[in-house]
Amino acid sequence: MANIKLFGTTDSFDIKNGDILYNALDDQGLKLPHGCLSGSCGACSIEVIQGSQNLTPPSAIEADTISAVRQERGFQGKEIRLSCRARVNGDIVIKKLS
């Protein structure tokens, strides 16, 4: 079991270990922007505030997309992940990007 907390809110919920973050949020009615759902567009990006070690490591494709998102949207220095690719294996605190 893993807990997801939305930074700056009281929203928090438990999911099964190994769930894809995007799907877990969608199951809770939290719709993130999305496009490809395969790690190449960056639309589903979120910021990880705590617990990044509890997400599966990014693949090479995800890492390339994260790099592009950081540069294009000015998110240098932030822990960015693609919610459609990251699997959750422990507690995390995340923040939606605008």
Region of 23-31, 39-47, 52-60, 87-95 interacting with ligand FES (CB under 6 A): 39-47
Q: Answer for the pair 2, 91: CB distance below 8 angstroms, yes or no.
A: yes
CB of 43 to ligand FES, least distance (A): 5
**Paired tokens of 95:** 């923040």
How far apart are the C-alpha atoms of 3 and 76, rounded to whole Å? 26
**Paired tokens of 23:** 């799907």
> Does 36 contact ligand FES by CB under 6 A?
yes
**Choice between 15 and 25, CB closer to ligand FES:** 25
> Does 30 contact ligand FES by CB under 6 A?
no
CB of 95 to ligand FES, least distance (A): 16
* Residue of the chain from 25, 84, 88, 94 that contacts ligand FES (CB under 6 A): 84
E-only strand ranges, 1-98: 2-6, 12-15, 19-20, 45-50, 80-82, 87-88, 92-96
**Choice between 42 and 51, CB closer to ligand FES:** 42
